[in-house]
């Protein structure tokens, strides 16, 4: 009887866990809802873009494996005309940075309401310029970026931007990841934009969608303790020379977003799941939604009410301090991008590092992690540490087959 009782108990508990996880999955993975919203707008002539016909008419753009971690940010592996890609779609509006407050549900707001019918191309360019000035600050070359956006918005390449294409472009420009993809479109470590329809967009696929670890079915994941999972993840990594090459790629990406052509961007979630690499072990960013313009973040956080420093955080890694005299968040982010990247790379690179460079590598990584934005001559230190790290790693792997 005891055996029968415990058998039924195990079956009941297991079934309940699977039901809860399945319910969570269906809440997270809402690709059908996303497609319906987008295609309804396309078929009524509201939006347009190079991916619209394939998504809504010929159905040659497929949603595959769900990678979503939040219901409002849909992310899928996909196939578009036999080419692999990553499909992303917003289920809620993202007009401002989210500091923990709930955003208004997408279905309750007016979608794709700008620009309105009758807006001239010149007026649209002025709208885009004003948006960039608010997001990126008063950069001298914003007009070049506006022209670049119009080139991207012209999805059918007929030399003019239709109202539907303009509505799609305007919605996409509210998203930091899309803006960063356009700005860094010629950079090696930024995934290429394949196409868009409304605020759904398709980007280049990445073979390995996490810096380390092994992908397991979600049913198996349920029964693996988190501590054991972390240890297991570290075992399923490439050889050390290949890890070093991937790490160099991350350092180069940090250079790309640090005082780039249109200002500085802050990496506000440097977790391993946001980084991937291809079959040549070149780093590719998987998720850049938490990489935000510094000017934009400073404006939004500087007057935020706070009790402690914990109230002054965006994402997981962009932290400012709470001024106790005014009970407002300060605007200066404490830790630079490079320090966050080095924190992520510390265990990744030190595990299996060649003995002849391990001590120097550890020393450089800890110097890097200690970087602070407020330090005197931070930019000089930043450049020196970054170059020293890249040089150390390249010297060690330059003559290996794995590199």
Predicted pLDDT of residue 108: 35
CATH code (residue 388) = 1.10.510
Work out the mean pLDDT of the chain and round it to a whole number: 84
- Are 164 and 244 in the same domain? no
Q: How confident is the model at residue 340 (pLDDT cuts 50, 70, 90)?
A: very high
**Range scoring the smallest mean pLDDT among 137-141, 209-213, 331-335:** 209-213
Mean pLDDT (whole number) for 377-395: 90
- Are 184 and 291 in the same domain? no
- Are 48 and 145 in the same domain? yes
Cα separation of 79 and 84, whole Å? 5
Mean pLDDT (whole number) for 92-113: 49
Predicted pLDDT of residue 258: 85
Quick check: is 56 in a domain? yes
Quick check: is 20 in a domain? no
Cα separation of 155 and 52, whole Å? 10
Quick check: is 99 in a domain? no
Domain count, the chain: 2
Quick check: is 49 in a domain? yes
Domain that holds residue 69: 29-92+114-205
Structure tokens at 122: 């010149």
Domain boundary among 172, 205, 238: 205
Task: Give, for 283, the enclosing helix (H) or strand (E).
Answer: strand 283-285
- Are 66 and 201 in the same domain? yes
Q: How confident is the model at residue 121 (pLDDT cuts 50, 70, 90)?
A: very high
- Are 287 and 144 in the same domain? no
- Are 137 and 274 in the same domain? no
DSSP per-residue codes, 284-311:
EES--TTEEEHHHHHHHHTT-B-SSGGG
Domain boundary among 179, 205, 231: 205
Kindly tell me if the per-residue pLDDT of 308 is higher than 90.
yes
Report the percentage of the chain scoring pLDDT > 70. Answer: 81
- Are 188 and 226 in the same domain? no
């Amino acid at each position: 009887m005891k055996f029968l009782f415990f058998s039924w108990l195990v079956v009941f508990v297991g079934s309940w866990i699977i039901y809860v996880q399945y319910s969570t999955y269906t809440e997270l993975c809402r690709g059908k809802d996303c497609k319906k919203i987008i295609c309804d707008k396309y078929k009524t002539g509201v939006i347009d873009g190079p991916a619209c016909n394939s998504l809504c008419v010929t159905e040659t753009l497929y949603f595959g494996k769900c990678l979503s971690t939040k219901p409002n940010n849909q992310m899928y592996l996909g196939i578009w005309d036999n080419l692999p890609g990553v499909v992303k779609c917003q289920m809620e509006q993202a007009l401002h940075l989210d500091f923990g407050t709930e955003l208004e549900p997408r279905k309750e707001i007016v979608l794709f309401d700008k620009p309105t019918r009758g807006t001239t191309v010149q007026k649209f360019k002025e709208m885009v310029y004003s948006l960039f000035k608010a997001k990126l600050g008063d950069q001298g070359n914003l007009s070049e970026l506006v022209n670049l956006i119009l080139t991207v918005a012209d999805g059918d390449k007929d030399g003019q931007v239709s109202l539907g294409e303009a509505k799609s472009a305007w919605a996409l420009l509210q998203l930091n990841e899309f803006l960063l993809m356009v700005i860094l479109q010629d950079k090696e470590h930024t995934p290429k934009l394949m196409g868009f329809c409304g605020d759904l967009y398709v980007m280049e696929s990445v073979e390995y969608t996490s810096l380390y670890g092994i992908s397991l079915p979600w049913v198996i994941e349920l029964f693996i303790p988190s501590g054991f999972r972390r240890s297991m993840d570290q075992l399923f990594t490439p050889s050390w020379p290949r890890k070093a090459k991937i790490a160099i790629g991350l350092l180069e990406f940090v250079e790309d977003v640090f005082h780039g052509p249109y200002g500085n961007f802050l990496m506000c979630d440097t977790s391993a799941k946001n980084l991937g690499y291809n079959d040549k072990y070149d780093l590719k960013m998987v998720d850049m939604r938490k990489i935000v313009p510094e000017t934009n973040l400073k404006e939004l956080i500087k007057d935020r009410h706070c009790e402690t420093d914990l109230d002054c955080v965006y994402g997981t890694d962009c932290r400012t301090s709470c001024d106790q005299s005014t009970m407002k968040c300060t605007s200066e982010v404490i830790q630079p991008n490079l320090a966050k990247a080095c924190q992520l790379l510390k265990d990744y690179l030190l595990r299996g590092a060649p003995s002849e460079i391990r001590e120097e590598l550890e020393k450089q990584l800890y110097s890097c992690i200690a970087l602070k934005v407020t330090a005197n001559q931070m930019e000089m230190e930043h450049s020196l540490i970054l170059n020293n790290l890249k040089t150390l790693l390249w010297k060690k792997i330059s003559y290996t087959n794995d590199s």
